[in-house]
Chain A
Amino acid sequence: MKGDRIIAVENLSKQYRLGMVGSGTLREDIAGAWYRLRGKEDPYLKLGEVNDRSTKGSSDYVWAIKDVNFDVKQGEVLGIIGKNGAGKSTLLKLLSRVTAPTTGTIKANGRIASLLEVGTGFHPELTGKENVYLNGAIMGMRKSEITRKMDEIVDFAGVERYIDTPVKRYSSGMYVRLAFAVAAHLEPEILIVDEVLAVGDAEFQKKAIGKMEDVSSGQGRTVLFVSHNMKAVSSMCTRTLLMQNGTVAFNGNTNEAIDRYLGNEANGDDVLFNGENPVENNSSIVLNYAKILAPENGVFKTTDQIPIEVSLSFTESINAFHLNMHVWTTSEVRLFEASTDAVEIIKGDRKTFKFFIPKRLLNANQYTCNFNFVINRSKVIYSAGKLLKFSVIEAVEENNLLWYGKTYGLLSVKIRSEVD
């Protein structure tokens, strides 16, 4: 029945051993067995640490995932997002039974098929058709079932002409399409999809997404969708898990999960001016602060306006002063410059200069700002390099174009278009 629990994950944990696996394990095993034999605790089973790659742990054992609990209901498309190393893949490996958990249980109703990496078991020497049989059987299909669906699979993949050619002659796109086609026709009760959208062209993406939606809404089957592509997650998932350091950091509304994820990811990245005054050799002008007025969660989307504020104090009078800003990409491309109006400065003034980078101008990227202090409309008296840094991420928008890839180009300008 739709709405019933189809997967129940309880206190699931998985411990991994770091470092040189295989060296000294026999010795440790014997030592461990010896300890147990004498009724003592095995010293090698000491508690591992939470998985955080950036800090070096003292233990050789880490918990790739720890105490994960969640349910999935039939017909749901559950998104799973998180940074690399957050435990997404480990979770999927446990769900697809590639490896067994250290503690906890997974209960499920029905066949779980995974697309951990498409084309599993494809043999380069075999033809497309032979590989469909091979791949299908690996995924748990019966031969008769595959034969029945062969035409549909070949049609879906769009590789009719090459179906009797060894797959080593296939382009990578054809390869993925064929592999996905097999998986899409598996009809498992639970389908695990991991980053299939990373490859394949727009037309295929459309098909794949359509098929996933069919599978979940039309046929009432359940999909676990893992992706770094927030657009795809946002448009397809009814609920999303945010994984962080091996635990479930958030479980609920997809857009909220995405916002949290993007907020976390960008944190520490958008360094605001830290207060140390770089303008030390210029006694006449003091930089009070320079900052980017970031929105609440600290990230700009391509649909946000980016306000920048610089506050200066003056110890001398200047006839005409203006602030000039240059915006650079991380690949050292100067995108544009902008200047404020020139103003007259009287000794002791404190002025705030503001720039507003319009929405729908910068594409998703990281940027740095340089500032020049200019007097008499022409003379640069001081240059402050890379004073500010900010990032822009792609906005998740409702759009009817089914393109889940990156928007290309340096800019993300809205171009008016007409069709006659």
Chain B
Amino acid sequence: MTSEQENWSLVIEPREKWWNLHLRELWNYRDLILIFVRRDIVAVYKQTILGPLWFFLAPIFTVVAYNFVFGSIAGMSTDGIPGPIFYLSGTTLWNYFSTCFTTTSNTFTSNAAIFGKVYFPRLIAPISTVLSTLFKFGVQLLMFFSLLGYYMLFEDTSIHLTYWVFAFPLLIIMMGGLALGVGIILSAMTTKYRDLQNFIGFGVTLLMYVSPVIYPVSAVPEGYKWFIKYNPISPIIEAFRLGFTGVGTVNAIDLVYSGVLIAAILLVGVIMFHKVERTFMDTV
């Protein structure tokens, strides 16, 4: 035995430095992310024939309801664009966020069975959730584009594309990043304090009301505007609307602010997640 060969490839210790984010390890497992994404999508397809149809039905009913309640009854502004387009643009993006957020916030509890048996970087699970939800988002986006095309071709409206469309991929990344960040923060907290789970449900609903989903930022009274402006979701939705419908209250600084905040949330989330992932099996 060569007694003092102390170059171990793996050292497991009770505590780790908080700045060790295991990003290299995550990269080594990149194939697993793709396979998880594929599994999530295929499993949804295989379970029900109607599966993907729900992707269409849910937003249609939502938009019809919003159009009726907020548009016809409450008479809220839609920035001068047709109600269906306005609400669909908002809900499509919002649905992506809320689905990612609620699923990732359950990461530990819903993956307990598999986490309890084998090790792989736990962050893989929420990351692949955010990626596989893109599929559902894509389907709904297709619907939005069809409706948009219909209005642009056959209806006399002021809808037009602007250069902001090119920001679209960035907006998706930001939305996914934010959902991931907030989701893993909550997942880290809910493993220990289960009662937080009750909060998530109505928390998402509350968050929607302080985001410009069913109303434009331009319609917010001056005294409350700061509140909406500090919400990192607002610039994303407004930029999306500005790009595809030509109306939106956003500038580059808002978007940069939002991006920086999201990056910070993600970083905090990853640190908290790593802290919890090491021992969560003992409490779950």
Binding site for B on A (CB under 8 A): 1, 3-5, 8, 16-17, 21-22, 25-26, 29, 73, 93-110, 112, 114, 116-117, 120-121, 123, 125-126, 130, 133-134, 137-143, 166
Q: Are A105 and B11 in contact (CB under 8 A)?
A: yes
Q: Are B279 and A130 in contact (CB under 8 A)?
A: no
B222 at the interface (CB under 8 A from A): no
CB distance from A358 to the nearest CB of B (A): 46
CB distance from B89 to the nearest CB of A (A): 33
Q: How many residues of B contact A (CB 8 A)?
A: 41
Q: Are A126 and B118 in contact (CB under 8 A)?
A: no
B42 at the interface (CB under 8 A from A): yes
Mark contacts of B116-133 with chain A using CB atoms, 8 A cut-off: 1 yes-contact digit, 0 otherwise: 111110000000000000
Q: Which A-chain residue is minimally distant from B34 (CB atoms)? A: A143
B residues near A4, Cβ cutoff 8 Å: 1-2, 5
A residues near B39, Cβ cutoff 8 Å: 123, 126, 130, 134
A residues near B116, Cβ cutoff 8 Å: 98
Q: Are A25 and B193 in contact (CB under 8 A)?
A: yes
Q: Are B194 and A22 in contact (CB under 8 A)?
A: yes
B160 at the interface (CB under 8 A from A): no
Q: Which B-chain residue is minimally distant from A139 (CB atoms)? A: B118
23 contacts between A and B (CB under 8 A): A5-B5, A17-B282, A22-B193, A29-B192, A96-B119, A99-B278, A99-B282, A100-B13, A104-B14, A106-B12, A107-B10, A107-B11, A108-B11, A109-B9, A110-B9, A116-B118, A125-B47, A126-B42, A130-B42, A134-B36, A140-B29, A143-B31, A143-B34
CB distance from B280 to the nearest CB of A (A): 8
Docked pose: A396 CA to B225 CA in angstroms? 79
Q: Are B118 and A121 in contact (CB under 8 A)?
A: yes
Q: Which B-chain residue is minimally distant from A73 (CB atoms)? A: B1
Q: Are B1 and A138 in contact (CB under 8 A)?
A: no
Mark contacts of B252-279 with chain A using CB atoms, 8 A cut-off: 1 yes-contact digit, 0 otherwise: 0000000000000000000000000011
Contact among B1, B14, B34, B36 for A100, CB-based, below 8 A: B14
B residues near A108, Cβ cutoff 8 Å: 8-12
B283 at the interface (CB under 8 A from A): yes
Q: Which B-chain residue is minimally distant from A8 (CB atoms)? A: B8
Q: Are B14 and A102 in contact (CB under 8 A)?
A: yes
Q: Are A138 and B32 in contact (CB under 8 A)?
A: yes
CB distance from B3 to the nearest CB of A (A): 8
Q: Are A100 and B279 in contact (CB under 8 A)?
A: yes
Closest 10 CB pairs of A and B: A97-B119, A100-B278, A137-B32, A107-B8, A106-B12, A143-B31, A99-B281, A120-B117, A108-B10, A125-B46
CB distance from A97 to the nearest CB of B (A): 4
A residues near B279, Cβ cutoff 8 Å: 99-100
Docked pose: A113 CA to B81 CA in angstroms? 57
Docked pose: A369 CA to B233 CA in angstroms? 79
Docked pose: A96 CA to B10 CA in angstroms? 11
Contact among A3, A17, A114, A121 for B114, CB-based, below 8 A: A121
Q: Are A98 and B31 in contact (CB under 8 A)?
A: no
Docked pose: A1 CA to B2 CA in angstroms? 10
Q: Are A116 and B12 in contact (CB under 8 A)?
A: no
Q: Which B-chain residue is minimally distant from A94 (CB atoms)? A: B12
A residues near B278, Cβ cutoff 8 Å: 99-100
Docked pose: A85 CA to B155 CA in angstroms? 72
Q: Are A134 and B192 in contact (CB under 8 A)?
A: no
Docked pose: A106 CA to B10 CA in angstroms? 8
Q: Are B117 and A117 in contact (CB under 8 A)?
A: yes
Q: Are A120 and B282 in contact (CB under 8 A)?
A: no
CB distance from B186 to the nearest CB of A (A): 15
Docked pose: A7 CA to B278 CA in angstroms? 20
Contact among A25, A98, A102, A166 for B281, CB-based, below 8 A: A98
Docked pose: A73 CA to B3 CA in angstroms? 11
CB distance from A304 to the nearest CB of B (A): 39
Q: Are B42 and A125 in contact (CB under 8 A)?
A: yes
B220 at the interface (CB under 8 A from A): no
B173 at the interface (CB under 8 A from A): no
Docked pose: A24 CA to B46 CA in angstroms? 42
B residues near A120, Cβ cutoff 8 Å: 114, 117-118
Q: Are B10 and A109 in contact (CB under 8 A)?
A: yes
Contact among A8, A101, A134, A141 for B14, CB-based, below 8 A: A101
B139 at the interface (CB under 8 A from A): no
Docked pose: A138 CA to B47 CA in angstroms? 23
B204 at the interface (CB under 8 A from A): no
Q: Which of B11, B14, B192, B279 has the most CB of A within 10 A?
A: B14
Q: Are A21 and B283 in contact (CB under 8 A)?
A: yes
CB distance from A411 to the nearest CB of B (A): 39
Docked pose: A110 CA to B7 CA in angstroms? 11
Q: Which B-chain residue is minimally distant from A116 (CB atoms)? A: B117
Q: Which of B1, B5, B39, B116 has the most CB of A within 10 A?
A: B39
A residues near B38, Cβ cutoff 8 Å: 130
Mark contacts of B1-25 with chain A using CB atoms, 8 A cut-off: 1 yes-contact digit, 0 otherwise: 1100101111111110000000000
Q: Are A105 and B13 in contact (CB under 8 A)?
A: yes
Q: Are B118 and A138 in contact (CB under 8 A)?
A: yes
B residues near A95, Cβ cutoff 8 Å: 12
Docked pose: A126 CA to B278 CA in angstroms? 29
